[in-house]
Amino acid sequence: MNRKILLGLVAAVLVGAGGYAWLRSNTTGDAALTAVSAPASSASASAAAGPPVSVTTVVVQKKDVDVMLEATGTVTALNSVDIRPQVASTITKVQIKEGQFVSAGQPLFVLDARTDEVNVTKARAQLAKDQAALADAERQLARSKDLFAQNFISQGAVDTNQTLVDSARAVVAADRAAIESAQVGLSYSRIVAPAAGRAGAINVFPGSTVQPSGNALVTITQLDPISVAFSLPQRNLGDALATLRAGGGKVTALLPDSGSAVTGKLLFVDNTVDANSGTVRVKAQFANKDERLWPGAFVNIRLSV
């Protein structure tokens, strides 16, 4: 009986020692885990804060800032001329090419001028004839004056010769006017550019019959400088007028395709407001040597007022 009690006590002691050892090992592990987690949390917080940021300060200033008005505009030429003949005739020569740049006064077309050349020659011949008649009348007048001085003829005869001379001079003057008229008709056979610009499509060829009321032979369009037309709301009319009076202000045209910008100035504000849309028509002018602005294209406009 004592032996059983002794074995029970030994077993109880062993179980208690094992439990104590197990509890001590778990407590030590948790403490170590807590110690490791604390530095990790500190490192994460430090990483989230990021590198230091530099701060720059400036002195606050008070000044005027431009107000920008934005709109969509259409590129338009300042000058665009449809070339038409002034007389009905036939094209004998085309002196330009499509897309060519021409200067003011440069020959463009030549028309059949044979009839006008004959008219000029005829008018000159008539002038020569009447000049000869005038010279004869002047000689007759001189003789009549000599005879009148010698009392061989009356004053009436002298006056008659004077009238013949005056009439002959009037005829000569009319002949000179007829020559100038014939030369004007002859000048219509040579069509020249009224202004500098770029030639568009040519609609005729040598041998084509043309008339003043027909289609244009070609269109000459000025590309430099060029304008952009756009509309502004009625509420911005006062700003636009003030900018125009101040010299035009700054207008920027943004090309939607390339994203590049061209700078110009305000040129024109229309004299009426469109009652249907409540907008006013405005134009700006731009230098266009590099031809980035093309008639008919759409651009985005920023007007500084």
* Nearest-angstrom CA–CA distance, 204 and 189: 15
Q: Does residue 5 sit within a domain? A: no
Q: Is residue 1 situated within a structural domain?
A: no
**Predicted confidence pLDDT, tens digits, the chain (305 residues):** 455 565 666 556 565 555 555 555 555 444 444 444 444 445 455 555 567 888 888 889 888 877 888 999 999 999 999 999 999 999 999 999 999 999 999 999 999 999 999 999 999 999 999 999 999 999 999 999 999 899 888 999 999 999 999 999 999 999 999 999 999 999 999 999 999 999 999 999 999 999 999 999 999 999 999 999 999 999 999 989 998 998 878 899 998 877 789 999 999 999 999 999 999 999 999 999 988 999 999 999 999 88
Question: Please, are residues 68 and 304 in contact by the beta-carbon 8 Å criterion?
Answer: yes
Bridge partners for 264 per DSSP: 251, 286
Within-domain flag for 278: yes
C-alpha separations of 29 from 24, 34, 70, 134 in Å: 9, 9, 71, 143
Asked if residue 162 belongs to a domain, the reply is yes
Cα dihedral 251, 255, 258, 264 sign? negative
pLDDT of residue 258: 76
Domain assignment present for residue 48? The answer is no
Residue-level pLDDT at 7: 60
CATH code for the domain of 181 = 1.10.287
- Whether residue 95 is contained in a domain is answered as no
**CATH number of the domain that 256 lies in?**
2.40.30.170
pLDDT of residue 38: 45
Closest C-alpha to 221, from 74, 83, 73, 72: 83
Number of domains in the chain: 2
d(CA 222, CA 110): 23
Residue range of the domain that includes 168? 113-188
Residues 180 and 249 in one domain: no
SS3 for the chain, per residue?
CHHHHHHHHHHHHHHHHHHHHHHHHHHHHHHHHHHHHHHHHHHHHHHHHCCCCCCCCCCCCCCCCCCEEEEEEEEECCCEEEECCCCCEEEEEECCCCCCEECCCCEEEEECCHHHHHHHHHHHHHHHHHHHHHHHHHHHHHHHHHHHHCCCCCHHHHHHHHHHHHHHHHHHHHHHHHHHHHHHHHHCCEEECCCCEEECCCCCCCCCEECCCCCCCEEEECCCCEEEEEEEEHHHHHHHHHHHHCCCCEEEEECCCCCCEEEEEEEEEEEEEECCCCEEEEEEEECCCCCCCCCCCEEEEEEEC
Q: What is the pLDDT of residue 294?
A: 92
Does residue 183 share a domain with residue 118?
yes
End-to-end CA distance of the chain: 116
pLDDT of 19 reads 58
Query: What global pTM score does this model have?
Result: 0.68
The CB density around residue 187, as the number of other CB atoms within 10 Å, is: 13
Token readout for 140 is 């007759």
At residue 285, the pLDDT reads 94
pLDDT of amino acid 297: 92
**Same structural domain, 166 and 227:** no
285 in Cβ contact with 269 (< 8 Å): no
Q: What are phi and psi of 286, to 5 degrees?
A: -135, 145
Q: Is residue 41 part of a domain?
A: no
Quick check: is 289 in a domain?
A: yes
Task: Give the number of C-alpha atoms closer than 13 A to the C-alpha of residue 124, restricted to the C-beta side.
Answer: 7
